[in-house]
Amino acid sequence: MSDHTRRDVPGFYNFLALGRALLDGPEPVAGVDGALMSRDPRSGARTSVVEIPPGWRGRSDAHDASFELFLLRGDVALEGERVGASGYIHLPQGCGGGELDSQSGALALAFWNPNIPAFPYPYTRNRTLRAWQQPWIDSVPGSHGVRHKSLRLPDPTPPPGQEGFDGGPGGYLRFQFIEPGLIAADEHVHHECFEEIILLAGDCFLLNEGQMGLGSVVVHPQEWYHAPFVSRSGAIILVHTDAPMGFPWPPRPYPNGATRAAEWLDATPWDAPTPHVPWADHPLAALQEADPAYREWRAGGDGRRRWGDADTGTSVPFMPGGRDTASRFRGAWTRKDEA
């Protein structure tokens, strides 16, 4: 069985199905039940699901890393500021840390990021947010098909036609919406960052990866071509990156991607929740393999080149650093204490 925790290779699994055990870290949630979801061995960054018990108290001094919590249920307070389901807590590195507690307990996603680049204080500071209170922002300029609410702030998004950041210096954490019936028929790639997608509601189907239901997680390493994708009922996802994600995302044609997506929409029922199904177990995998256009594409040219960096021979016009550039930078750079 492949190691689902790796960020340098593609991953597809369900975090709700992971076995729970006492966590040895990170600092605020060490000793509570949970499971490691992903990690970067270079920087020490990790994503975990944590089961916080009633009456729990914890603390982070935020000296070594930034700590974030997104609550799936229950409650957690930062210095008395309490949030419930869909609440978000951020203790950025170097901003003093704080006391945490829970009255009823909580199931949460925890993001631990040592030495994450960030805007200086006071732009980056301790925060509590409720996702339902945040405004929706168009993620793709000129389109309403994908929208998001920023959790990790600041999260600059450039206006259409202008250059700028899409996320802060250390990437973004976004509560994102994909509209029902949306079909993205081409592959695309993120030259700048790793991408971790966690499905919280609805459904999303990704060719060559699988069918996402509640709890599904897909991991796209930097420079990895992925998609097409489609959603039947719409989807609410958390998207986590380790560097700003530039737009536009360079596309690449995919044979009969729109056709496969339409077949999935026609076959997916409305009277039952959409389950998590890995690609190898999905009926459309065999249908795609029987497609002569797909077989020809996969056998030669772009179809064999899943990575977008120069060392695999791909011909893309913009290759800023190659595979794992963001991860190598995070692992090599360390914040220094102020004198």
* Interacting residues of 191 by C-beta distance below 8 A, sequence separation 6+: 222, 223, 246, 250, 308, 316, 318, 319, 320, 321
Read off the pLDDT band of 319 (50, 70, 90): low
Read off the pLDDT band of 334 (50, 70, 90): confident
Instruction: For residues 13 and 84, state if they share a domain.
Output: yes
Q: CA 195, CA 192: separation in Å to the nearest integer?
A: 10
Residue 95 belongs to some domain of the structure: yes
Average pLDDT over residues 15-41: 96
Read off the pLDDT band of 309 (50, 70, 90): low
Instruction: For residues 282 and 154, state if they share a domain.
Output: yes
Dump pLDDT digits (tens) for 323-333.
889 999 889 98
Dump pLDDT digits (tens) for 243-273.
999 888 888 999 999 999 999 999 999 999 9
Q: CA 234, CA 258: separation in Å to the nearest integer?
A: 17
Average pLDDT over residues 292-306: 87
Residue 150 belongs to some domain of the structure: yes
Instruction: For residues 111 and 155, state if they share a domain.
Output: no
Q: CA 26, CA 74: separation in Å to the nearest integer?
A: 20
User: Mean pLDDT score of the chain, rounded to an integer?
Assistant: 92
Q: Looking at residue 229, which CATH number applies to its domain?
A: 2.60.120.10
Q: What is the span of the domain harbouring residue 157? A: 142-314
Instruction: For residues 173 and 263, state if they share a domain.
Output: yes
Q: How many domains does the chain have?
A: 2
Write down which residue in 86, 111, 133 finishes a domain: 133
Element (H, E) at 193: none
